Structure 1
Amino acid sequence: MTVLHYFQSQAKNNAWANYRLLSSCQGLSQQELVAERAGFFPSILLTLNHLITVDWFYISALEGKPLGIRAFEPEYPFTEFAPLFEAQRLSDCKLVEFVEALKPAELSRTQTLREDKSLREQVDRILLHLFQHQIHHRGQLHAMLSGTSVKPPQLDEFFLGNEMEQNARREDFAELGFSEEGIWGGREEPRE
């Protein structure tokens, strides 16, 4: 596996994990979504809002159009679940498309995070941070779901290659437009 393929696989795994989590959250009532729970953000809906606004912050920076703190205005833009789910799916697609279009040398390019504070960071570090951030808060959401009427989905796996695992994610992949070949198909990095 090449470094670029690693980042491409992580972006798709991130989108898949978000899809699984949000698909489970669809079964929650509004009352369950907003109920106070233990976590850094004290409800499922607030935590989901945090995930999307942080995505907007970092993905806009990766694209060279940093929103900076405007990404958090308002801090919790969604009061209803359906538009939040759609926004997260669009954000995940945007991230996958960004990473799929990267060339190896672009991973070390420096991007502006916040123009008002002249914060800059390398693309590979932004991506690693964003993936870790998502994993961290999805874990909190998983724990929060344990106290609801909805069973938390399995989120602690990557794309294992055995047939049983592939069959278990077939419907999710169809919904996301992913394929096993697209993830592990032995693509080579483009030459510069």
Structure 2
Amino acid sequence: MELQQHFKLLASYNQWINEKVYESACGLSEMEIQKDRGAFFGSILGTLNHIAVGDTIWLQRFATLPACRHSLREIAALPGPRSLDQIIYSDIEELRAHRQWLDNRIIEWIDGLSEPDFAQVLNYRTIKGISGSKRLSNLVLHFFNHQTHHRGQVSTLLMQAGKDIGVTDLLALIPDTEDPDHQ
């Protein structure tokens, strides 16, 4: 399977699981959403904002590459986050709408990349000013892994608030394939 196919699967998974997470989160009171539960970003709202902030930071970095400029131009035009714990939306419904918009941009971006694009090297600086220079394929993998890591935290925080989001495994989106050797 090509890298693009793997990343298309991850982009679809990202959109699917985010919808499940936000469906559960939006069923909670504002107090429950904002309650500090001892997570790294405090609350459900804080952690969901962090995921959106991280996505924005990385997508704006990716937008500097020629292969990504056009598909990420709307994200490149957003104000750059100032910190990793920035609350960009304090209202969960507004954050959900932004998340849906981001997820659609991510799918369009991945759909527009070709296999050779993933070999490009991105030179970037972290929020702390540390320089990095890495292959796009590895950074895209990090991008999706970062989301999964923090969504796992949100899943736990939602469970603490009495909300079970159900199946969260990528396996749920991987289609069955017939094995020609076992027919």
TM interval, shorter chain, is: 0.7 to 0.9
TM-score (norm 1): 0.76
Contact 1:112 1:119 in 2 (8 A): yes
Q: Give the drift of 1:98.
A: 0.8
TM-score, with structure 2 as normaliser: 0.79
When the two chains are superposed, the root-mean-square deviation of aligned CA atoms in Å is 2.4
User: Following the alignment from structure 1 to structure 2, what is the Cα–Cα distance between the partners of residues 52 and 3?
Assistant: 24
| Contact kept in structure 1, 2:56 and 2:80, CA below 8 Å | no
Which residue in the other structure is 2:91 paired with?
A: 80
Number of matched pairs: 162
CA contact (8 A) 1:33 1:45 kept: yes
Q: Quote the residue 2:166 is aligned against.
A: 153
CA displacement, residues 7-57 of structure 1 (integer Å, 9 cap, x when unaligned): 111111111111111111110110000111032111000000100000000
Is it true that 1:71 corresponds to 2:85 in the alignment? no
Counterpart code for 2:11: A
Give, in angstroms, the shift of residue 118 of structure 1: 4.6
Superposed displacement of residue 119, structure 1: 3.2
Q: How does 1:4-153 map to 2 (within 5 A)?
A: 4-64=4-64, 70-72=80-82, 75-114=86-125, 118-153=131-166
What are the ranges of 5 or more consecutive residues in structure 1 without an aligned counterpart?
Answer: 163-183, 185-192
SS at match of 1:71: coil
Q: Which deviates the most, 2-11 or 41-50?
A: 2-11
Question: Matched residues in 2 for 1:62 and 1:141: separation?
Answer: 26
% identical aligned pairs: 25
Q: Say whether the 8 Å CA contact 2:2–2:115 is kept in structure 1.
A: no
Gap regions ≥5 residues in structure 2? 70-75, 178-183
